[in-house]
Amino acid sequence: MLKKPKLFLDMDNTLVDTLPILTASTEQAAKMGLEKPDQIPDIFRHLKPLPGALDSVKILSKYYDLYILSTAPWFNASSWSNKIEWLNEYFGTDEESPFYKRVIMTHDKGLARAEGGILIDDRPYHGAAKWDDEVSGTAWVQFDYNEKMNWMAENGLMHLLIQTAQIFKAQNVSEREALIQASHAMDLSFHGSLEHFEKANWE
């Protein structure tokens, strides 16, 4: 069987609708004596998937070896287990899950580039932007930085990723080179300007 390309997926604001809930919980966090809402116990457990995320993962699993690459707040131990529980709820707990034993939790996502691949992540932090690296043959695709780069966009992110996988298979090039070719053909770019990226007010 031919080797599949590798695709790493961030969770918060890429698969999971996280930011609006955290932003709305800043007052609750203050009342609890916490610095930030992402420190509220179990706040990550019952979040909803982003529109199109579940169906997109199902489709992409046919083209890619999928992995989760996520960061959890250091001062919220429940967030680490919450993320595994969320994945189990929506994708299952057995080997049929595309993420079964394929979850990496780290505060430096750049360390996971050792064997190449593409990272889909909405924010450049925690080493995500390091994936935009010609030497290692990896790429960072910024989720939802424009209207084309989300799961629901017509002729956008999903089409780009499928085209990339097909080029990878047909031409025996790196994931990054395949993505470059696909993005040029579609006139899309991987990510927006890092200089103009705006954090939420509580980050």
Active site residues: 10, 12
- Note the Cα 108 to chain centre separation in Å: 14
Instruction: Pinpoint the alpha helices (H) of 112-186.
Output: 157-171, 175-186
Residue 3 CB-density burial (10 A; 0-12 exposed, 13-18 middle, 19+ buried): exposed
- How many CB atoms are closer than 10 A to CB 104? 13
Sorted by sequence, the CB contacts under 8 Å of residue 98 that are 6+ apart come out as 57, 58, 60, 61, 66, 91
The three-class DSSP label of residue 12 is strand
